[in-house]
Each structure stands twice: as structure tokens, then as C-alpha cells.
Amino acid sequence: MSSPKITFIGAGSTVFVKNILGDVFHKPALKEARIALMDIDPVRLEESHFVIEKLMKSQGANGTIESYTDQKEALRDADFVVVAFQIGGYEPCTVTDFEVCKKYGLEQTIADTLGVGGIMRALRTIPHLWKICDDMLEVCPNATMLNYVNPMAMNSWAMFEKYPQIKQVGLCHSVQGTAEELAHDLDLDHHDLRYICAGINHMAFYLSLEKRLPDGSYQSIYPDLHEAYASGRAPKPRMDNNLRCNNIVRYEMLKKLGYFVTESSEHFAEYTPYFIKPNRPDLIERYKVPLDEYPKRCVEQVEKWKSDLQEFKQAEKICVAESREYASSIINSIWTGQPSVIYGNVKNDQLIENLPSDCCVEVACLVDANGIQPTHVGKIPNHLAALMQTNINVQRLTTEALITENRDRIYHAAMLDPHTAAALGLEEIYALVDELLVAHKDWLPNWINQ
């Protein structure tokens, strides 16, 4: 075929699929792409089909678009599979994760990557990702999966552990997004930055971070960031998100670690034991930690979508600027052979030498007709590797729980989570996990609650 087939699993996430496919339609070689949208919610699926069809015509693309509620049929003969869904949704599952944890005194901000919330989301999500892998092996074994589903590291680890033959990469926008934020803090054009970044998803660090000078040479911006923070000029309010978080957590970690981390302060605050503690409102105030941030965003996004959908229906055209997401670049590079560099979540295999070889890491990857080729990093600073290991422990045990069907490992993962261990005692942790496993029973594999 002269054009690729791109299947989008979770296409009811209309705003996200609009951004991803909007990027695809900007690529000349992909304007005739065959799009397959799949979702279990027929109403959301119909809304997405309407928006994407109008977007396709508005951007001069002349491929085809079909909608499916049957996953296997949507995947049949696909060249690329984009995955973006949330099992159990905001309601009831995410609401339950926040309410039950709060009952035990465990406060959270996002709860989709690590901690008890991240563990529960992984238990709900990974079995369905495995089902996608099963279907891919049957109907599109040569396709490349572009996975956007959190908890990214656990999901990716579980898939390349059980389905090593599936070509896949986990994708996030935290590396390129944070680079843009830091450029904004220093009044720089982010196109003038170059960097080397490595670590695990949501906890990668810029090992080098430089700006281009007028003579074409490069200079580290780390001294500039330290000075800007000390003088109060940074961090500036983020313009691409709500303003409830102002990045104090990450700048404080820069002062202590010497390197800037890629994921937001609201995320990072719950990956470590330092910022959210029972009976310590002074820490929440000092570091401006936005508790219950994710539920607030979900409510806002639902309301915004209602108005956006009306605008899309009334608009003659739907046009979107290219986003910072990597999916279209990957598809274009594999399909045309035109090389690109992205940051992807892949199996370590000694890419970062002082992290476990079997864990999931986030590193720069070359993409061309040969596929996605991760780059070797070598050793990273040991204190950064040690901090990442505290998160890798939770990722490993949660993944092992599902692969071996070992319920004990779920409790062990929660016990070793840095934030949970700093807030709760052992008996509280076990009781909390017990209550959540029962609450999520209908969304979990049967063996967990037998």
C-alpha cells in the first residue's frame, strides 16, 4: 500500500486524537493515511469521527477514516497502533483511588504513575494492553505500537516482558515539554536549546542542557537556572497548563541534585518522600504542592470538551498547529525512511549501565526505516540512579505481580513506594490496598480477588 494504516485505540479521547492525527495530516507523506478509530464508547467514538473527518478535510488530507467498537477489526492490517485510554475512567476508578487513599491519610496530586494510585491503575490497565498485543500478533504482527497510556514505565515493562516480539515504544511529552518551560523561564527560544536527557519515565534528568550562543557555540544554562531561581525570576507561570503549580519542587530538587528533572512538580512531589507528609501543611504551602490536582483537571476538561465540541460542530474548518508529540515523527520516519530523533520509553538492555538491565528507561532514540533504535547513555550520576531505583522498585513489583499472578507483590509494591511509606504504617498500607482491590474488583483480573 502507498499509505499507512494508523489505528487509534481509545479514540474517544477526542482532544488527544485530534492533536496526534492533526500532526499526521501535516506530514506530506501521510496525507493519504488510512485511519481506524476504535473505542468502546459509541457516543465518544462518533464525536471523534466527526471531528477527525472535518480535520482531515481542513488540512487537505484525502485518506480514509473508519470507526470500530471491535478492537481486533480496527487493528487488522495496521502499520501503526496508537494507544491512549484509561481503564475505569475518571469515574469511578480515579475518583475511588483518590477518595480511599485520602480516607487513610495518603494525599495525592496526580496518582497515575507511581504510588498506590499508579499501582491500581497498572493493575487495571496492563491486562488490556496484553489483549491488544494478542490481537496485534494475530492481525498486524509487524505493526509498531506507540503507547501513550500511564503508568508508562509499568505498562511498557509488562509488555516487553511478556510480548518481546511486539515492536513498541512508550511516549510522553515531558522531555520536550520541560525544555520549552525552561526556555520560557530564561526568555530563550526553545529551538536554541540542545540537551542530553536520560532516566526513567517522569524521572529523567537533563545530563547536559545548553543554549546556542551568537557565534554558534553552546553554553550550559544550568548556572542561569540557578541564578534565575535564586533571584525570584524563575519559575514563571506555565502558559500551557493551569497555574496551580509553579515548579518550586523541581527547582528545589535542582538545587539539591544539580540536574533538572523532566516531569512536573505536581507529579514529582508524589514520587519522593519529601514534599507531602501527614500533619505538615507547612510543606504543602512552602512548595506549593497542588493536592488532588488530577481530579480537578478532569472536571475542567469534561466541561471544556462540551464547549469545544459545539465549536467544532459550528466551525467550517478545524485546523490545528503541530504539537510537541512524537507520534507523527515516528510514523513518518519509519514509513519514509527520513530520520528523526525522539525520546522513548524502551527496555534498558544496558543503555543506562547503572540501572537494572530489564527495567524501562527513557532515552533518545533514532527513528528511520529500520524502526526505533535507542541510544546508549552509559552511566548516569549515581545519586540520580539511586533516586530512580526507588521508583523502579515499585514498577518491578507491580509488573511481577501481574506476570506471576502473585497478590503479595501488590502489597510489596505499595510498601516500597517512597511517598506511601513516608505517610503510612505497614498495617495502614495493607488495609488501604485491601480496600482498593475490593473497590476495583470489576476492573481487575479475577485472580486478584479470588
Q: Note down pLDDT in tens along the chain; length 450 residues.
A: 589 999 999 999 888 999 999 999 999 999 999 999 999 999 999 999 999 999 999 999 999 999 999 999 999 999 999 999 999 999 999 999 999 999 999 999 999 999 999 999 999 999 999 999 999 999 999 999 999 999 999 999 999 999 999 999 999 999 999 999 999 999 999 999 999 999 999 999 999 999 999 999 999 999 999 999 999 999 987 654 444 557 999 999 999 999 999 999 999 999 999 999 999 999 999 999 999 999 999 998 888 888 888 888 889 999 889 999 999 999 999 999 999 999 999 999 999 999 999 999 999 999 999 999 999 999 999 999 999 999 999 999 999 999 999 999 999 999 999 999 999 999 999 999 999 999 999 999 999 998
Buried residues in 176-208 as b, exposed as e (16+ CB within 10 A): bbbbbbbbbbbebebeebebebbbbbbbbbbbe
Contact in structure between 317 and 133 (CB atoms under 8 Å)? no
Return phi, psi of residue 81, to 5°. -125, 115
Residue identified by cell 515499585 is: 394
How much is the pTM?
Answer: 0.96
As given in the structure block, the three cell numbers for residue 125 are: 490497565
Q: At residue 315, what are phi and psi to the nearest 5 degrees?
A: -70, 140
CB count within 10 Å of CB 313 equals 11
What are the pLDDT digits (tens) for 417-442? 999 999 999 999 999 999 999 999 99
Binding-site residues, please? Answer: 150, 172, 202
| Selection from 315, 330, 1 nearest residue 148 by Cα | 330
The CATH architecture one would assign to domain 5-171 is 3-Layer(aba) Sandwich (3.40)
Residue 302 confidence (pLDDT): 85
Residues 263-268: contacts with CB under 8 Å, at least 24 apart: 263/113, 263/174, 263/178, 263/201, 263/202, 263/203, 264/174, 264/178, 265/289, 266/109, 266/110, 266/290, 266/293, 267/109, 267/110, 267/113, 267/202, 268/202, 268/203
> CB-based burial of residue 382 (10 Å sphere; 0-12 exposed, 13-18 middle, 19+ buried)?
exposed
φ, ψ of residue 273 to 5 degrees: the values are -95, 10
The active-site residue, picked from 128, 173, 190, 226, is 173
Q: What is the pLDDT of residue 241?
A: 46
pLDDT at 301: 87
Residue 237 pLDDT: 75
The Cβ of residue 168 has, within 10 Å, a number of other Cβ atoms equal to 27
At 381, the amino acid letter reads: P
In our burial notation (b when 16+ CB lie closer than 10 A, e otherwise), range 251-282 reads bbbbeeeebbbbbbbbbbbbbbebbbbeeeee
The rounded distance, in Å, linking the Cα atoms of 11 and 17 is 6
Residue ranges at the known binding site for substrate: 150
Residue 267 annotated in active site: no
- For the chain, report the end-to-end CA distance as a whole number of angstroms: 48
Q: Name the residue ranges covered by the structural domains of the chain.
A: 5-171
Query: Are the C-beta atoms of residues 261 and 173 closer than 8 Å to each other?
Result: no
Q: Which residues contact 285 (CB under 8 A, 6 or more apart)?
A: none
